[in-house]
Amino acid sequence: MEPASVSSPTGPARSRTTFVGRRSEMQRLETVWAAVEDDCRQVVFVGGEPGVGKTRLVVEAAAALREQGAAVLWGSCREEFNTPYRPFVAILEQALEQAPAQALRDITTHAAAPLLRLTKATLGHWPTASVERGDGDSQPVLFDAVLRVLLAVVEQGPAVLVLEDLHWAPEPTLGMLSHLVESTAGEQLLILATRRTTAPDRTDPVSFALADLHRLDGVARIDLVGLTTEDVAQYLVREARVSPRSARAAAPVVRDHTGGNPFFLQEYWYDLASRGGLDALRLGSAKAPRSVQDALARRLAAFDLAHTRVLELAAVAGDMVDPSLLVSACDLGADMVLEGIDLAVRAGLLVADAEAGGYRFVHSLVRQAVLDQMAATDLAGTHGRIAAVLETRVAGDDPSNMAQLAHHYVEARALGHGEKAVRYLVMAAQQAVRGIAHGEAATLYEQAAQLHVVDGPPQGELLFAAARCHMHAGHFPVARQIYDQLSTDRDPKVRLLAAIGHEDASWRPSENGQRSLEMLSKARQASSLDDDDPLNIHALASMGRAASFTGDRRQARELGEEALRLARLSADEHLTAHALGATLWQGLNPALAPALLARALEMHEIATRLGSDDHLGPAAFHRGAFAYIVGDEPEWSSAQRDMTEIALSRGQPFFRYVSGCSRFAHRYAVGDFAGAAHIAAWLDDQFSHEFDGATEGSWGLQQFMLHRVTGGLEQIRPLITGEESLEHQWLPGLLALYTGLGMVEPAGRLLRYLSDRLDDYRAGAQWAGVLAFATEAAAKLDDVTAAACLRPLLTEYAGSNLMAGANAAVFGSADRYLGQLDSLLGDPSADRYFERALEMDRRMGAATHQVETLTAWSWHRARAGGPTRGQVCPTAASLAEEARAMARRIGHRRVLTELDAEPAPRVQREPLPNGLTEREVDVLRLVAEGLSNREIGERLFISANTSANHVRSILLKTASLNRTKAAIFAVEHGLL
């Protein structure tokens, strides 16, 4: 790609200054282009500090490729009035101009309609296109519409997309980029993106998004550093017209002063040229400018006042300089404005952009330096004049116009333009919402609220709008902060609405509901509303849901049922749907599951009639959970599909996350472990930094469930000692880890510890998982005492499935676990439970659960001998054979390992002497070692007081006068 010297690509024009160095980078891009010509989409992120030559490199590359016949489309992010999707709007408009008319006609009007959210240019090709409510309210639908147009260009030949200054890209822009990259693997497409990689411009959201893209094929990065001394010498030869010898002599000093930064090199040379060129450097009379501002100040000294005003006006107008805009906004006359532009071009501050019909600053640092020189009053006045001209040119509600007007009027607010600033900020926010850019909309609403104008929307109204947008963007802590701020308003109804919002921003990330409950209770009491007032009913339902997140299920049920009763009487379907949704948080109790599933279905029907995604999402979420518990596979699958559709259509992180968990649970249950692992990895990539880390526990549980079925637990065996501290651990999970690794002694010790504390977990959403892990440990350890403790707790789940959290982990039929406990306890009902479990697993289409039930039943049959009289049971061999075949098919390695082991005959344990319990024997052994009550407590993870109670019981049962006599008893009875 040898750079040519004439043509101007779409985007920034080729600079007239010398392009030197970057040979290796250009060679690398040549290799990348060869891959593009072989139908392999390529992406190159060009990074580096400001002024290092990122844009210049891609300008030269794009120009050379355009001369070879490639279509070049160009878009830029900007720090100011940076509307969502800004670079893609520019690229889309260029694509609409370059794509063949027939290719665009092949895109239906319906498919193209979402493009109206980005540009009115859509109507030039699809005049009848329109966006009704709900049409295209989906990021993927919008992204696909853009993709169709871009592919219409690519189908005609290779294309280059250039995205400048990606470090300023908001989340929606990054989302569209990710969609484009992931959807074009086999296309003749090169994406070149520039971004600053130094603070403060390097941002975590951009870094995380790009890191996620780097996992894809054909994605690479080029990080630019300063030019070498040799490159600087070459620049001086070409630019200063000096001999190579003189250039080589001066190059080390020049590079030292500029760090090899091409932009600073250019500025330094302009400064030297005005002082005699290299002669000034040799005489030592030319010092390096301390900053770009210093260099610019020297250059501007040649400008008279009028021409300086023109340049300042251009800087305020934006990155693209439109001469007609400057003429309209300036009182100096057209001739003076054009003279000023020409002078700026000759001074190397502006470059002509023939394609765009205007001019650009040679670098954003130059524009910023001009702005930094302006006095605050001059700056505000210039923004006001620019805004006044732009306002006369507004074309409808074009998103870029609204954002620019908002920016200029905000900067000019001190001159009395506050009301207009708020007006355009709100319009820009509404445009952002229509573009499914909720985070950006929230920022605009908050900015409007801070201006405190008299005749604009009330501040509270703007803050409520901002908080709602933050919630939709998944920024729950920020939303709660705004609602906290609003909760101090003088108006009790405003405080009540703030409390309702606070609760709505709390339940999604599973925050404790105590704060919301207190806010709701106080505000509701202060409002003195009638019982049948819709706001009172809404608040009452929210209180019920908040109470459920405090763990008080009784209060939650009472408040929720009363709210639902009043909502039904009101005949207000929106209110009824909200109340129904709030009552669904009464826990994953199997006794309540059928009734709650019916309510979730009713909520779904109402939401469908209303066309309300705000109700459809939670309805699908709860339908899926309760359908799984009761074993309704069609409804479980239907809810999962609905949740996926909601996630796509809403573009909200919460729905995307819970939809991902639902898909994970389905893939895991049917035995698609690779698919489940892919979803888990996606959940971690997308949400590890969302929701204040609230997803970490669920992700850890998902990883454990996957690793233990696929044999991955062995990888962490070296990290587990069996002596882990019990502080800050989810102990059921630690028990499951010990059990899965076959660590018998620590598993037994922890199981006994947990058996005394099971009530501590009953109110949690993971309770069913606790029972499952504890039962698995008891079965593995042949712990009859633990089995007897667990049996009555599991009985309430008979006939249902066990789910930890809402789709965090699915375990299959509770009857399998009851069968395992009855097998351990010698109860003849074990076979009946295994049979029922297998029937449930098959009905759910859950291959993973079927394999585990077949295996557990085969072990029971092998150890129990023949069936009880009157029973017809499959043999251990036939069960194992079926389990093995299915386990091989889905790759269930844990089961295959278990089936390869011979079932050990159950040990018939002698009853312990004198009625001692297993735990008391553990204590007695430590008494014999001479440990104190405190030391025994530390060893067994119990309190010293509990240890003392056990010792007293031991002394009574063994008729021992003291601890020494008790130790002797232990020796005599072989307990040590």
The predicted-structure confidence for 685-702, as pLDDT tens digits, reads as follows: 767 666 666 667 788 888
3-state secondary structure of 194: strand
Compute the residue count for the chain: 976
Does an H or E element contain 812, and which?
strand 809-813
pLDDT tens digits, 853-881: 999 999 999 888 765 555 677 898 999 99
Residues 6+ apart with CB under 8 A from 433: 441, 469
pLDDT digits (tens, 9 = 90+) for 585-619: 887 788 999 999 999 999 999 999 988 878 888 99
End-to-end CA distance of the chain: 82
Q: Which of the pair, 221 or 587, is modelled with greater confidence?
A: 221
Residue 8 pLDDT: 37
Contacts of 841 (CB under 8 A, 6+ apart): 812, 813, 816, 849, 850, 853
Q: Where are the alpha helices (DSSP H) in 347-458?
A: 364-373, 376-392, 399-411, 418-434, 438-449
- Check whether 15 has a pLDDT greater than 60: no
Tell me the mean pLDDT in the region 80-87: 78
Half-sphere exposure of 588 (CA within 13 A, CB side): 29
Reported confidence tier of residue 793, pLDDT bands at 50, 70, 90: very high
Q: Can you list the pairs that 454-461 forms with residues at least 24 positions away whose Cβ atoms lie under 8 Å?
A: 454/419, 455/419, 456/418, 456/419, 456/422, 456/423, 456/426, 457/422, 457/426, 460/486, 460/489, 460/494
d(CA 192, CA 182) in angstroms, rounded, equals 15
- List, in sequence order, the alpha helices (H) in 571-650: 573-583, 593-610, 613-630, 633-650
The whole-number pLDDT of residue 4 equals: 31
Instruction: Say which amino acid occupies 368.
Output: Q
Q: How confident is the model at residue 514 (pLDDT cuts 50, 70, 90)?
A: very high
pLDDT band at 922 (very low <50, low <70, confident <90, very high): confident
For position 12, what pLDDT does the model report?
58
Say what the pLDDT of residue 13 is: 54
Give pTM, 2 decimals.
Answer: 0.71
| pLDDT the model gives residue 609 | 92
H or E stretch at 73: strand 71-76
pLDDT band with cut points at 50, 70 and 90 for residue 331: confident
CA gap 233, 778 in Å, rounded: 78
- Count of C-beta atoms within a 10 Å radius of residue 550: 16
CA 159 to chain centre: 30
Could you report the per-residue pLDDT of 60-72, keeping only the tens digit for each?
A: 898 899 988 899 9
Which residues neighbour 559 within 8 Å (Cβ) at sequence distance 6 or greater?
A: 540, 541, 543, 544, 547
Pair 307, 340: CB distance under 8 Å: yes
The least confident of 89-103, 170-184, 563-577 is: 170-184
**Measuring CA to CA, which residue among 459, 814, 817, 849 is closest to residue 668?**
849
Burial 614-624 (b: 16+ CB within 10 A, else e): bbbbbbbbbbb
CA atoms within 13 A on the CB side of 681: 9
- The dihedral region occupied by 782, where left means phi > 0, alpha psi between -120 and 50, and beta the remainder, is left
Look-up of token digits 């990348």: 32
pLDDT-derived band at 352, boundaries 50, 70, 90: confident
The mean per-residue pLDDT over the stretch 496-504 comes to 95
Give the range among 534-543, 680-689, 913-922 with minimum mean pLDDT. Answer: 680-689
Mean pLDDT of the chain, nearest integer: 85
Write phi, then psi, for 729 (nearest 5 degrees).
-125, 145
Report the pLDDT averaged over residues 92-104: 90
Q: Residues 142-156: what's their mean pLDDT?
A: 90
Note the pLDDT of residue 510.
79
pLDDT digits 0-9 by tens, 721-779 = 988 888 888 899 999 999 999 999 999 999 999 998 898 888 788 899 999 999 999 99
Distance between CA atoms of 506 and 512, rounded to whole angstroms?
7
Q: Which pLDDT does position 283 carry in this prediction?
A: 54
DSSP-assigned beta bridge partners for residue 358 = 353
Rounded-to-integer distance, Cα 16 and Cα 52, Å = 17
Q: Residue 293 has what pLDDT? A: 63
Q: Give the type of residue at 544.
A: G
306 class by beta-carbon count within 10 Å (0-12 exposed, 13-18 middle, 19+ buried): middle
Q: Transcribe 928-950 into DSSP letters.
A: HTT--HHHHHHHHT--HHHHHHH
Q: How far apart are CA 946 and CA 873, in angstroms?
A: 46
Q: List, for residues 645-655, the tens digit of each pLDDT value.
A: 777 666 677 88
Of 48-57, 263-272, 919-928, the poorest mean pLDDT is in 263-272
Q: Which residue has the higher pLDDT, 211 or 30?
A: 30
Q: How much of the chain, in percent, has pLDDT values that exceed 70?
A: 90
Strand partners, 352: 359
How far is 323 from 358, CA to CA, in rounded Å?
Answer: 7
Q: Is the pLDDT of residue 395 over 80?
A: no
Choose between 357 and 924: higher pLDDT: 924
